Amino acid sequence: MHKISVAGTGYVGLVAGVCFAEVGHHVTCVDIDEQKINMLKQGISPIYETGLEELMQKNYVAGRLDFTTDYIHAYKDADAVFIGVGTPEQPDGSANLSYIATAARQIAETIEKDCLVVVKSTVPVGTNDKVEQFIKDFLVNNVKVEVASNPEFLAQGTAVRDTLEAARIIIGTDSKWAEEMLMKIYEPFNLPIVSVSRRSAEMIKYAANDFLALKISYMNDIANLCELVGADIQDVARGMSFDERIGSKFLNAGIGYGGSCFPKDTKALDYLARQNGYEIRTVKAAITVNNDQKTVLYRKASNRLITFDGLKVAVLGLTFKPGTDDLREAPSLENVPLLLDRGAMIYAYDPVGSDNFRQKYPESEYKITYVKSPEEALSGANVCFIFTEWDEIKAVKPENYKNQMRTPLVYDGRNIYGIEDMKDAGVEYYSIGRQAVI
Ligand code: NAD
């Protein structure tokens, strides 16, 4: 078993650290955020992920998992340091590599024995070559250090399962020493391993994510056309899904992808292409479609209503998808400010995302109220927007909209309901890629 340190206790770093401990490694998770480390030491996960807190507590108690801000102590005698810090988007679309650089420098200045540095963060092709050189430039002790790429494919909401039962592990290195150590580290997971060059590994991550983003934007594009020509996107998707070449996943039309990955990774690949004198037209199209898609319901509602001023607007779902408390690039963040600007009084419900949303839109400064149930949001509302398909929201029956709202006017960005069910319940219902119920 190895002594592993992980830089960054976000969705990627924390889940990786906990899962490494679960298979028997000795893991120290490092973060610069003291508040997060204090929570973790008390057994509280700063992020919402099914099963994470239990596994975290179990391995902490077993002595295989520790949390610290003291990176010197954590890195100095580690066999491997995994980097899982953020690589957020910059205004020009490129990835901000400053967190990676800081972590790399901290590693260079502290390691006291041979160490494999493994970059899990999503970074543009060629970054790890630079990270390796950077570490070597700042190295304080005379030790061997190499950098390998090991991109992460977990999806938020199912992160623990996605790690313990990953479809594949990608190992990107041109060194036998690094490859063998990573193979050993991952051996207890008993999962398929794909070993490729460092640059190919970096590209696999973007190519995979952007393909999924493209698939979503493609279905949203087809959905918009379905509405215009009288077809139903859900029937179309069902018909497509039986073709094994297409597959049945990621065929749901909606109000666009969000989250911390697809939006930034599509833009970063576009930036990388431009930097290399190439125009990546398919990915650019996915970005354009997605930007428009996020406000498609707001635009429909604006056409239908004379004004939002003084209307009670129920917003069901704030997070970018169910199963996470993450709001990054969530469609709600595009739509809520538009509605507030137009004078709406918002009653928002989300089973886990309200606290994070409140930090951006506090009740004291905006006409927004965070409620504890969908019913509270719907009661007396003039219009309802559905942005996230949480089970708690899917459980709302069509007749509840009719009975609880002042006017049963619903804009559903996740196609939760059957058209006929909403028609039977007497709800005026607009969704994505399907005929409106008027
Ligand atoms: P995050 O923002 O949730 O977490 C990053 C953490 O790193 C923060 O807690 C921050 O305080 C910490 N940090 C910053 N600098 C540090 C340093 N020098 N030392 C120690 N900790 C430091 O990020 P995330 O969502 O986990 O994403 C991390 C990377 O993984 C990104 O490149 C992302 O693109 C990629 N990724 C994310 C997901 C996902 O679903 N979130 C999936 C696959 C890949």
- Containing 208, the helix (H) or strand (E) segment is helix 198-229
225 & 320 share domain: no
User: What is the 217 CA–ligand 1 centroid distance (Å)?
Assistant: 25
Give the mean model confidence (pLDDT) for residues 283-309: 97
281 & 346 share domain: no
Is 308 a member of any domain? yes
Is 310 a member of any domain? yes
Residue 114: count of CB within 10 angstroms of its CB: 12
180 & 288 share domain: no
238 & 251 share domain: yes
Whether residue 36 has its Cβ less than 6 Å from ligand 1: yes
Give the mean model confidence (pLDDT) for residues 89-100: 94
Is 374 a member of any domain? yes
214 & 252 share domain: yes
Give the mean model confidence (pLDDT) for residues 346-350: 98
ipTM above 0.95, yes or no: yes
Whether residue 97 has its Cβ less than 6 Å from ligand 1: no
Give the mean model confidence (pLDDT) for residues 393-397: 98
pLDDT per residue over 104-146, tens digit each?
A: 999 999 999 999 999 999 999 999 999 999 999 999 999 999 9
Residue 260 has pLDDT above 90, yes or no: no
| Domain span holding position 263 | 204-292
What is the domain count for the chain?
3
Residue 400: count of CB within 10 angstroms of its CB: 17
Last residue of a domain, one of 240, 269, 292: 292
Contact 331, 255 (CB under 8 A): yes
Q: pTM higher than 0.90 for the full model?
A: yes
- 226 tagged catalytic: no
Residues of the binding site for NAD(+): 31, 36, 87, 122, 264, 328
Distances 432 to 124, 304, 385 between C-alpha atoms, Å: 34, 16, 12
156 & 29 share domain: yes
Q: Which of 19, 29, 115, 261 is catalytic?
A: 261
Distances 169 to 83, 154, 207, 269 between C-alpha atoms, Å: 16, 11, 15, 22
Give the mean model confidence (pLDDT) for residues 429-438: 97
158 & 221 share domain: no
Q: How confident is the model at residue 335 (pLDDT cuts 50, 70, 90)?
A: very high
Last residue of a domain, one of 292, 319, 348: 292
Whether residue 261 has its Cβ less than 6 Å from ligand 1: yes
Q: How far apart are CA 36 and CA 41, in angstroms?
A: 9
Whether residue 31 has its Cβ less than 6 Å from ligand 1: yes
Distances 137 to 107, 109, 145 between C-alpha atoms, Å: 12, 10, 11
Which residue has 């061997």 as its token pair? Answer: 144
Judged by DSSP in three states, 165 sits in coil
187 & 261 share domain: no
Q: What is the mean pLDDT of the chain?
A: 97
User: What is the 276 CA–ligand 1 centroid distance (Å)?
Assistant: 27
> Which DSSP letter does residue 419 get?
H
Last residue of a domain, one of 242, 270, 292: 292
Residues of the binding site: 31, 36, 87, 122, 205, 250-254, 258, 264, 321, 328
Q: Which pLDDT score is estimated for 338? A: 98
